[in-house]
Structure 1
């Protein structure tokens, strides 16, 4: 196959993935943020997350290796434990029991750089929720992202099985620069 044909085929394939993601989630590919799990290897995939709509900040730097630390308590609705581990890391919390803003605020107060809020519907592998403010006047400034429930559950399950306190991730990942982007998706997620 000629180089021009391969390039055309790749562009068409990426466009079809974009259209599929747009139909499933209601978000365009530019509205999602991507991160890669580096370790543990059994979940070494590229995951997508939807940024909060009207609160939280944006990533001002790219982190090639940063910890993704599960929150304690898991729902992030009260003061977080293990602040020395949380400091300067990305924190994984579960949806439910309090607002998205409260979760992000607790993570920010504990020193987290960003929060990934995984849906508590663990069978959710395609529907992103719009995270919006709860009406409070104090809004967190750290990035807040919504993670599909199945992705969050699989990450937590892997860490629990291996008795690991965190995963190592790279965030954000520019998927347009990865030739194998569609091949690195979690096998349980419909793309």
Structure 2
């Protein structure tokens, strides 16, 4: 009986935390999309990202293993280098320099499947931005997602430290709502 009460109390506590998160961030938990870093292993976590509000497509399939390639140039505001690597993969960019739409368009033109745009405020660990269109008529159709600055920095630092050209990720992944034993 005591175990049931403790479990119920835990569930209620977690629910209240989720509801608090919804109110403070402005985004519902189901408005976020999750991806898991498979490699490098030192950042083998599940990260969350916020899909663009009024441009970009949805993931029509999930990818068990796909490259997350840092953009060159990092802000993605001019034609991307390494098009052969970007083709069919996901690109990681930094915010700033041009509109979110321009960044996504450059990735789409280079044959990328999606773009993750990390905040340029590297200590941002909680504020998601609403990525909205810049008013241009040619809207990109690939998924465009906003990544917290802290998470983008963590991924880039790990790749630089290990001299890796890309991370390997699974996207999207279902958020594991309840911990389970193996």
Asked if these proteins are the same fold (TM beyond 0.5), I'd say yes
Deviation at 1:58, TM superposition (A): 0.2
Q: Which has the larger radius of gyration?
A: 2
Deviation at 1:20, TM superposition (A): 3.7
Normalized against structure 2, the TM-score is what? 0.92
SS state at 1:75 partner:
coil
SS state at 1:172 partner:
strand
Compared CA separation, residues 125 and 62, structure 1 to 2 (3 A): same
Q: Is the 8 A contact 1:24 1:126 kept in 2?
A: no
Matches within 5 A, 1:98-117: 98-117=98-117
Matches within 5 A, 1:30-179: 30-176=30-176, 179=178
Distance, in Å, in 2 between the alignment partners of 1:58 and 1:13 is 32
Query: Matched residue pairs, number?
Result: 180
Distance, in Å, in 1 between the alignment partners of 2:100 and 2:59 is 18
Q: Structure 1, unaligned stretches of length 5 or more?
A: 182-191
Q: Is the 8 A contact 1:59 1:143 kept in 2?
A: yes
SS state at 1:93 partner:
strand
SS state at 2:173 partner:
coil
User: 1:15-55: CA deviations, max 9, x gaps?
Assistant: 23422431332100011001111111111111110000000
Distance, in Å, in 1 between the alignment partners of 2:166 and 2:179 is 26
Bigger mean CA offset, 130-139 vs 9-18 = 9-18
RMSD, aligned CA = 1.9
